[in-house]
């Protein structure tokens, strides 16, 4: 049997929504310590290369100033800071010298230190770049809205998930949690989490799409809730999906959240499953985010 392929590439559509203001973190001295390695791995590529360029320039500028502390330490350089800077660039990269070369013991000691630090810096930079490139990532698309409609006579929360890569995610597992503000019996404000059981939390082979469903029965934390009550409680749904990427044989994770206003009541997800003229199964991703009135 031929493998089913999407009829067109999946494209993530921009999401326009008003997010609640982030919580203010009151950090102590220990928490203020910057995790530099984590920051280097997670910052945008533009910021990462800008930081590398700034560090490179600063490193060479510092050594250029050190070379200028002793007159005549660099032959044929005069008293030009630019010459000292470019001499440092050549030293750091072990390019080799033209007319300029270290002329004193002081300069040779600085050259030795700079070459050692330069080699360490290049090794660390290469390692961080490799770690960024090789870090496993998931390309999973979630429907922009979740809906609540009747399914088999029971109000059911539904949303869709799609694999954006043309490969398989093995042993995919999804969890859905409801988080909302509540007051304890003692009047203490708490942010409480409730796990929402879903009809099928595991997919042995996640290739195309997956409709996740949670039945809102008497045992559900959403039983009796309305969009207004969820908004008043600052509620949101947190969805996590994990699985094994078949191509890279690495565990991948994807996360998404639905705010209260993104949970649509008495709406249904538009059907995107069809057949091609030759009778094969097709998936219309152009309607992946579309919803319709539950009665239509």
Where do the domains of the chain lie? 36-134, 140-293
Distance CA 213, CA 201 (A): 9
Looking at the DSSP assignment, which residues form a beta bridge with residue 147? 158, 264
| Backbone torsions φ then ψ of 292, nearest 5 degrees | -140, 165
Strands 146-151 and 263-265: what pairing?
parallel
Residues in the chain: 296
Looking at the DSSP assignment, which residues form a beta bridge with residue 140? 163
pLDDT at 61: 94
Distance CA 210, CA 2 (A): 20
Fold of 140-293: Immunoglobulin-like (2.60.40)
Distance CA 212, CA 214 (A): 7
CA dist 142 to 4, 150, 226, 244, Å? Answer: 20, 21, 22, 18
CB 232 within 8 A of CB 116: no
The closest alpha carbon to 242, from 174, 156, 143, 186, belongs to 174
pLDDT at 9: 41
CB 68 within 8 A of CB 88: no
**E strand residue ranges, the chain:** 74-75, 101-102, 140-142, 146-151, 154-163, 169-183, 189-196, 202-206, 209-215, 236-245, 250-259, 263-265, 267-269, 273-275, 281-283, 291-293
pLDDT at 272: 85
pLDDT at 155: 92
- pTM, full prediction: 0.66
* One pLDDT digit (tens) per residue for the chain, 296 residues: 444 444 444 444 444 555 555 555 555 555 455 578 888 888 899 999 999 999 999 999 999 999 888 888 888 777 788 888 988 998 888 887 677 888 889 989 999 999 999 999 999 999 999 988 887 777 888 999 999 999 988 999 999 998 888 788 899 999 999 999 988 878 788 889 999 999 999 988 888 888 999 999 999 999 989 889 999 999 999 999 999 888 778 888 899 999 999 999 989 998 888 888 887 878 888 888 988 887 77
CATH for 36-134?
1.10.287.70
């Amino acid at each position: 049997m031929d493998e089913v392929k999407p009829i067109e590439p999946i494209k993530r559509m921009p999401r326009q929504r008003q997010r609640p203001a982030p919580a203010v973190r009151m950090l102590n001295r220990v928490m203020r310590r910057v995790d530099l390695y984590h920051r280097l791995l997670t910052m945008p590529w533009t910021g990462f290369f800008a930081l590398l360029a700034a560090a490179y320039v600063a490193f060479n500028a510092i050594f250029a100033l050190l070379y200028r502390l002793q007159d005549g330490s660099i032959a044929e350089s005069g008293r030009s800071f630019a010459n000292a800077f470019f001499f440092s660039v050549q030293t750091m990269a072990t390019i080799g010298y033209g007319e300029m070369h270290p002329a004193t013991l002081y300069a040779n000691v600085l050259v030795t230190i700079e070459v050692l630090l330069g080699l360490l810096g290049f090794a660390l930079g290469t390692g961080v770049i490799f770690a960024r490139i090789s870090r496993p990532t998931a390309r999973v698309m979630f429907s922009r809205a979740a809906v609540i409609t009747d399914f088999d006579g029971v109000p059911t929360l539904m949303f869709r998930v799609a694999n954006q890569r043309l490969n398989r995610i093995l042993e995919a597992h999804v969890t859905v949690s409801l988080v909302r503000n509540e007051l304890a019996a003692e009047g203490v404000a708490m942010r409480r989490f409730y796990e929402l059981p879903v009809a099928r939390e595991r997919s042995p082979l996640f290739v195309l799409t997956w409709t996740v469903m949670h039945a809102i029965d008497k045992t559900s934390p959403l039983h009796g809730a309305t969009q207004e009550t969820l908004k008043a409680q600052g509620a949101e749904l947190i969805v996590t999906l994990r699985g094994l990427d078949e191509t890279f044989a690495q565990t991948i994770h994807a996360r998404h959240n639905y705010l209260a206003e993104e949970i649509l009541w008495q709406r249904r997800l538009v059907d995107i499953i069809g057949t091609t003229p030759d009778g094969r199964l097709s998936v219309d991703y152009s309607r992946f985010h579309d919803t319709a009135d539950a009665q239509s």
